[in-house]
Structure 1
């Protein structure tokens, strides 16, 4: 059984960030307000999650669990869409497909083939595992989409020159898609290359603190790390492919609304 953390101890630990704000102020780093807001949102959201997940885990109703996953995906789609000025149903559907398809594939492999659960919609496995995969995919999409749009606009002359020389849209756009996917994957690759030596990942650490044998925690960590990597790759690849298909006109020009 892991040791409980008192609310007073947690509040005291929160004060360790105060020196950071003084340093930010002296260095004129304009992130103090954003940091306070983000930390406040994080604490509030986690408290709410902690409260209602107790009821969801206790109820463990497959229909409710699926609805909760759809809610998580909806928030992820909304978060990714905030990074671009264009707001329309078609774009939301594209982001939804890019996020959902890899999550479903990982769900099949993880819950059915790997864990071989009797109830594949068991809340204790479905929600945390999907949450880790979904969160990383969302971050990957934000990085890739922002980089892709920025590079297309920045290098528009070079891109159009390639079109003018006879390259089709797929050939001309491929280097930008490859660059965006590479940028998105770099944090995961760096983490995988150093995991276990430089750091112990969150899932493994949580299980060890919960009393699970390290060797069993390692197996879970390997599986979830591979799931996160594949999901992040395919979600960014699908999004880039769909954006290039539906948001470039007949002259291979990116929609100016981006």
Structure 2
């Protein structure tokens, strides 16, 4: 729980600095307000709340936020992070009870932003038309031919022969078989606008794994875990017996 507490403290301190008018930010208020305006405009775009439809972020038929063909999940994961962080700010003690994101097409509460962030996380982890997890190593089905040199070439422990750049390309890149090493935890570029995905090592636009795909999701998963834990704890406190029947009624039978 230390990691989650650190994450929450980081978000709360940063967003108080940027959004609550912390005295330390006074000297840079003009610049910070521009960042805030752009961030809120993008949040509204993800939520489809800009009046001009062209300013909103597209979604695939399966619900994935879509920006461009090449490595689109970098945008879906970073949007999920921003939605999670801003919703956390709105629901924190520093925000008023009626706090909401004000968009041209209507206000959005923290719960709606968390819901959209969760939907993107669910999509990445396999709740999508292909029932395919785009996080390598997670779930029953995930990309097996990730565009990644270390994953696609046999390990030195298994085969101690020298493999240079030429050998790596000639002997391993074009192989149709699954990678010999599972790049566990990596998130690939992801599907097309129509939720289509081709698991091919040469299809680098969709199968390349990037750190900036996975990094934002660390915070998203941490926050969603915290929220789920809080709900579970609250439910247990309300019903300490876990919904078990009253012992006296059982005895009477």
Same fold (TM over 0.5): no
- Whichever of the two has the greater Rg, that structure is 2
**Higher RCO (C-alpha 8 Å, min separation 6):** 1
